[in-house]
Amino acid sequence: MDLSLFLQQLLNGISLGSLYALIAIGYTMVYGIIRLINFAHGDILMVSTYFAYFGISVYALPWWLSVIIAILLTALLGILIDLGAYRPVRHAPRISALITAIGVSFLLENLGLVVFGGRPKAFYRPDFLDKTYELGGVHVFSLSIWVPLVTALLLALVFLLLYRTRVGAAMRAVAKDMEMVQLMGIDVNRVISLTFAVGSALAAAGGIMWAMKYPQINPLMGILPGLKAFVAAVIGGIGNIHGAVLGGLLLGTTEILLVAFLPSLAGYRDAFAFVLLILILLFRPTGLAGKDTIG
């Protein structure tokens, strides 16, 4: 394998990895604040792509407007899910919340099948994202540049929110000690609702970027990105936001390099991600970036 081929594969890996990272940010943020592994994250992502799809293809809105509306609607969906599913089990043992999350995930998938139908739909891609540049033998697809940029931007915004605003301070306080925060007269439910809104909006951003890169959406499309983002979040140390980005990039790059160097193992790339998950949980349960969680 010559250098330009290697660079090309590395770029493919970074491009895929930054998508995982983008989705993992929301995953890990919700966990960091309320200690809930939100298994419905991938399915919220799926719903968001349908919101955008309906905006662009059915109501014929400009794509950027549809994306904004989709992100807002998805944030609202996050609040509703928290209200209907997670708030009632807030003080139950943590396993109840986990099982509820799995239930929400199934509910969204099957509602999707009933409402949107099982046949995949084609997703719109704006022209400026549909270009290929050539740089010294390496083909750079314009989306592959935009995805890491969006990831970096959202990462910065999440840090700003958490460490530079009052709401962020409240979120970090909830992460530390929910009961105590309640005693201090802060409306915990509102803080958590907002956390879900932000988490779901991040899922929407990730989902829409995903759908632009792989322009095919269906009601079960959220499962795999959701699982991969979960693995990425655990690799980076779940609850740790920059860890999630690191984990996502690592997972995407190793997956691509595995397929590139060992083509006969290509069918096992998903299995590989989960083997990686098991190894991390066995030998470094706090993840690579360690326990530097929100708070």
Partner 1 sequence: MQHKIIWLAAVSVFFCICLPFFLPSLSLAGEPIRIGVYLPMTGPVAAFGQMEWAGIQAAHQMRPTVLGRQVELVLVDEKSDRIEAANAVSRLLKKEKVQAIIGSATSSNTMAGAALSEKAKIPMVSPTATLPLVTQNKKYVFRVCFIDSFQGEAAARFAYQNLGARRVAVIVDRAQDYCVGLASYFKKAFTRLGGKVVSMAYCQTGDQDFSAQLTSIPASQPDLLYLPNYYAEDALIARQARELNLNIPILSADGAQAPELIKIGGKAVEGLYLLAHFAPEGAATPLAKEFMKFFKKTRHEETSGFHALGADAYFVLLDAIKRAGRTDGDAIRTALASTRGFGGVSGVIKIGPDGNAVKSAVILQVNGGQFRYLTIVKPW
> Cβ of residue 221: shortest distance to partner 1, in angstroms?
8
Q: Is 232 in contact with 21 (CB distance < 8 Å)?
A: yes
Instruction: List the alpha helices (DSSP H) in 35-187.
Output: 41-53, 63-81, 94-116, 142-164, 166-176, 178-183
Segment 227 to 256, residues that bind partner 1, using CB under 8 A: 255-256
Pick the closer one to partner 1 by CB: 80 or 260: 260
**Does residue 106 bind partner 1 (CB under 8 A)?**
no
Q: Which string of b and e fits 109-123 if b means at least 16 CB within 10 Å?
A: beebeeebeeeebeb
Please identify, using beta-carbon distances, which residue of 217 and 289 lies nearer to partner 1. 217
The answer to whether residue 107 forms part of the interface with partner 1 (CB under 8 A) is no
Rg (CA), the chain: 19
Taking CB under 8 A as the rule, does residue 263 contact partner 1? yes
Contacting partner 1 within 6-65 (CB under 8 A):
8-9, 12-13, 15-16
User: How many residues in the shown chain lie near partner 1 by CB under 8 A?
Assistant: 38
261: helix, coil or strand? helix
Which residue is associated with the tokens 């951003």? 205
Closest distance to partner 1 from the beta carbon of 14 (Å)? 11
User: Quick one: tokens of 67?
Assistant: 């994306």
Task: State how far the Cα of 151 lies from the Cα of 86, in Å rounded to an integer.
Answer: 28
Give the nearest distance from C-beta 12 to partner 1 in angstroms: 4
Site residues (vs partner 1, CB under 8 A)? 5, 8-9, 12-13, 15-16, 113, 117-122, 132, 134, 139, 141, 210, 213-216, 218-220, 224, 255-257, 259-260, 263-264, 266-267, 269-270
